[in-house]
Amino acid sequence: MIAITVYQNSKGHKIGFKSKGHAGFADSGYDIICAGVSALVINFINSVEELCHAEYSLDTDEETGMIDYRLDKPATGDVALLMDSMILGLKGIQRDYGNEYIILDFKEV
C-alpha cells in the first residue's frame, strides 16, 4: 500500500508531503497504481522546480518507495495550484482503486 501524508501548517497552507510504499496492485513494471502515483508526484516536483522555482528539500528511498518533500515556504499561488492538482489526482486514484492500495492523509505540522 502507498501511504501519502500531506503536511499543512496551522493556517491550512500545504507545506509538503511524504509518500511511502508500493501499491502491490500488480507486479513491478505493471502496477498502474504505482505508475499513476509516481507520475503525479514526480510531475509535481518537476513542475515546481522548473516553472515556479520554489525552494524545497527532498529525501528519497527507491527501495521503500519513499519521497519526502518539504517546501521552504508554505504553498501559495502557482505552487498551491500544482499541489492541489496533484492531490486531486491522488484522490481520484484512491476513489477508483480503494484504500487497499493507497491511503491519503492530511497532517498539521
User: Per the residue annotation, which of 13, 34, 52, 53 is the catalytic one?
Assistant: 34
Residue 13 annotated among the catalytic residues of the structure? no
User: Per the residue annotation, which of 13, 22, 52, 53 is the catalytic one?
Assistant: 22
Are residues 8 and 14 in contact, defined by beta-carbon separation less than 8 angstroms? yes
What does the alpha-carbon distance between residue 76 and residue 11 come to, in Å, rounded to a whole number?
Answer: 12
Distances (CA, A) of 39 to 31, 46, 93: 12, 10, 12
Residue 34 annotated among the catalytic residues of the structure? yes
Active site residues: 22, 34
